[in-house]
């Protein structure tokens, strides 16, 4: 059965992957609410841009009137909330936009959804869902021997970014328990793949390695992250939206933990293989810089609950997914060159520290 899905942040990295999946593999209608910030790309929608089942609404989730208008005009059956400020380093430099978008924006969207939900006929209200997409960073940091995060891990955010996402998670759950809005939360680990903005770890290192530029790594590179290919995540998110239970939380991961140094070295090796450098291995470009403030040591998710109840597992192992991602960047030089030529902040291409 075709549904009308209101999706916020659909021109972002993860959101565009969800839009592409919905248009290619389902018959659902997508109402894509995106204000087109620096990290958004309509190119990332590929054939979805201009498709009759895709509608782009240029609006900011912090605007109550705009959000009410989206609900009133398009009458969605479901909401997937992905719009967020998401880069840790940027949140350290300037927390304000993270508070505004991630906390205030989520509140505004919840209130618009609550008013809309209250007016739905019983049969439509029964199937309405509000799916809030979040991060594993809300759980804080793990030591080497700690078990991975699960849906019941206590919250312990350490950066302005993760604190703002933790706050939004709590708001979503409160609107379920207090007002009866049928919400769900999913928490995921670091994503990577095509169309990721070049300030994030994997594209950042790929492009620097390709250019023969230095590859600074925070600390000693021992910080560990769990990696999930973005198209696998997109499929899981749609599965949550369509089959998840109101009030539930789903931890989504791929069981692919790697240290930052291992990731950087693997990128160097793949770039060497695809574009050999007469100067030798790109590993020679790696050097270590002072760690950033509040740099969490390890994130890792146990996705067993989600895999069991959603009947989903990630298709890509890290090596296969990484080679595919790097190959995509090598084949789409015009896209990232245009970003750099447009005034992209070069100092952010200088630190290989994290994936968000």
Question: Known catalytic residue: 136?
Answer: yes
Instruction: Report the Cα 221 to chain-centroid distance in Å.
Output: 22
Question: Known catalytic residue: 250?
Answer: no
For residue 247, the SS3 value is: coil
For residue 204, what are the contacts with CB-CB under 8 A and spacing of at least 6?
A: 198, 348, 349, 351, 352
Two structure tokens written together for 267: 């990128």
Phi, psi angle pair for 338, to nearest 5°: -65, -35
- Concatenated DSSP letters of 273-287: HHS--TT--GGGGEE
Which residue, among 31, 124, 24, has the nearest Cα to 82 in the 3D structure?
Answer: 31
Which residue of the set 137, 169, 226, 300 is catalytic?
Answer: 137
Which residue of the set 85, 89, 136, 307 is catalytic?
Answer: 136
Which residue of the set 60, 85, 116, 161 is catalytic?
Answer: 161
Q: How many CA atoms lie within 13 A of 217 on its CB side?
A: 21
Question: Known catalytic residue: 161?
Answer: yes
Cα 308 from Cα 306, distance rounded (Å): 5
Scanning 52-159, the segments in alpha helix (DSSP H) are: 64-74, 88-93, 96-98, 106-118, 122-127
- Concatenated DSSP letters of 46-73: GGGTT-TTEEEE---TT-HHHHHHHHHH
Give catalytic residues, as residue numbers. Answer: 136-137, 161
């Amino acid at each position: 059965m075709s549904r009308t899905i209101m999706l916020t942040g659909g021109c972002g990295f993860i959101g565009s992957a969800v839009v592409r999946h919905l248009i290619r593999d389902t018959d659902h209608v997508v109402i894509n609410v995106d204000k087109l910030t620096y990290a958004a790309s309509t190119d990332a929608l590929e054939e979805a841009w201009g498709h009759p089942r895709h509608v782009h609404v240029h609006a900011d989730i912090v605007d109550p009137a705009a959000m009410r208008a989206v609900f009133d005009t398009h009458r969605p059956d479901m909401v997937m909330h992905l719009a967020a400020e998401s880069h840790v380093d940027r949140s350290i430099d300037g927390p304000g936009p993270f508070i505004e978008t991630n906390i205030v924006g989520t509140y505004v969207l919840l209130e618009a959804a609550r008013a809309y939900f209250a007016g739905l006929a019983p049969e439509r209200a029964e199937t309405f869902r509000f799916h809030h997409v979040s991060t594993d960073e809300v759980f804080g940091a793990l030591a080497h021997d700690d078990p991975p995060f699960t849906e019941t891990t206590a919250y312990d955010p350490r950066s302005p970014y993760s604190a703002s996402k933790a706050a939004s998670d709590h708001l979503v759950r409160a609107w379920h328990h207090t007002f009866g809005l049928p919400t769900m939360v999913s928490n995921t680990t670091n994503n990577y793949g095509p169309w990721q903005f070049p300030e994030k770890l994997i594209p950042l290192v790929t492009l620097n390695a390709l250019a023969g530029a230095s590859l600074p790594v925070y600390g000693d590179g021992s910080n560990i992250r769990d990696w999930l290919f973005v198209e696998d995540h997109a499929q899981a998110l749609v599965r949550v939206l369509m089959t998840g239970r109101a009030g539930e939380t789903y931890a989504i991961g791929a069981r692919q933990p790697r240290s930052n140094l291992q990731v950087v070295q693997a990128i160097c090796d793949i770039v060497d293989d695809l574009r050999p450098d007469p100067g030798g291995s790109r590993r020679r470009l790696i050097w270590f810089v002072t760690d950033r403030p509040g740099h969490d040591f390890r994130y890792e998710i146990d996705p067993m609950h989600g895999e069991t109840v959603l009947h989903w597992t990630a298709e890509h192992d890290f090596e296969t997914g990484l080679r595919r991602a790097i190959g995509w960047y090598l084949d789409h030089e015009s896209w990232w060159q245009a970003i750099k030529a447009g005034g992209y902040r070069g100092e952010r291409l200088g630190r290989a520290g994290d994936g968000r």
